[in-house]
Structure 1
């Protein structure tokens, strides 16, 4: 169930709790009131940014992408369409996340590193950018 109030979108989640989002001024993506998204970032209309997340200046988040709780997307980073950034993940400035990628919780993506389309990155991994497909290592 969803409800619209001027500038506010409300949904009932799977637990029956009401979650609220506001539309971002640049692109119209849905942003939790407890998140911070730079006004010069761009969020596709079907992108979601959860509570505690931060999206930096000139970052881009594509259609159907989900920036989970406490995620940081650095300045100029690009998150493709249909991507999930797991809770606590850090995507540094200038990094690129390919279409359909799934990043687990607490993943770190180095500056200007790339995650390939449809790649699955496990919880706690670090993407260092040395190799386009195998450029991550699992945290100990």
Structure 2
């Protein structure tokens, strides 16, 4: 019989606060106790969802995704591997982020926008389907 995996982790932030994360039932990723993740969302085992973040129904967070505090991931959004979503950023419903995308703090990506691999979205940017092709890798 295999070893039981711990259902939660505790991490200390730079300012000394201890944040507890639990394993999400769908995928096993780590979700802060104060984050809100829909049960139908998939959070890969190596993904992290920080305090105050919200993940909508049917969303898919790939391996090594990091969602910072207070970010919002809309329903049915798909985040590829190694994606970093900054503090307070908002990704609309059905948004698609390819591998190694970085989303700056407070950025907004509107519904159904596709963001190419290795793109960097600047902090506070407003990205639409018409502007996503201009993002620098």
Asked if Structure 1 and Structure 2 have the same fold, meaning a TM-score greater than 0.5 normalized by the shorter chain, the answer is yes
The whole-number CA distance in structure 2 between the counterparts of 1:30 and 1:108 is 24
User: In the alignment, what sits opposite 1:50?
Assistant: 50
User: In the alignment, what sits opposite 1:65?
Assistant: 65
Which runs of structure 2 are paired with 1:32-51 in the superposition (5 Å)? 32-51=32-51
User: In the alignment, what sits opposite 1:98?
Assistant: 98
Given that 1:105 and 1:123 are in contact with CA atoms closer than 8 Å, whether structure 2 keeps it comes out as yes
The whole-number CA distance in structure 1 between the counterparts of 2:16 and 2:89 is 26
The whole-number CA distance in structure 2 between the counterparts of 1:131 and 1:53 is 25
TM-score when scaled to structure 2?
A: 0.89
TM-score when scaled to structure 1?
A: 0.87
The whole-number CA distance in structure 1 between the counterparts of 2:127 and 2:25 is 31
The whole-number CA distance in structure 2 between the counterparts of 1:131 and 1:87 is 22
User: In the alignment, what sits opposite 1:22?
Assistant: 22
The whole-number CA distance in structure 2 between the counterparts of 1:126 and 1:15 is 31
User: In the alignment, what sits opposite 1:107?
Assistant: 107
User: In the alignment, what sits opposite 2:134?
Assistant: 134
Given that 1:119 and 1:133 are in contact with CA atoms closer than 8 Å, whether structure 2 keeps it comes out as no
Given that 2:120 and 2:135 are in contact with CA atoms closer than 8 Å, whether structure 1 keeps it comes out as no
Runs of 4+ with >3 A deviation: 12-17
Q: Where in structure 1 are there 5+ consecutive unaligned residues?
A: none
Aligned length: 132
The one-character-per-residue Cα deviations of 1:48-99 (angstroms, maximum 9, x if unpaired) are 0011100000000010010111011000000111010000100000000111
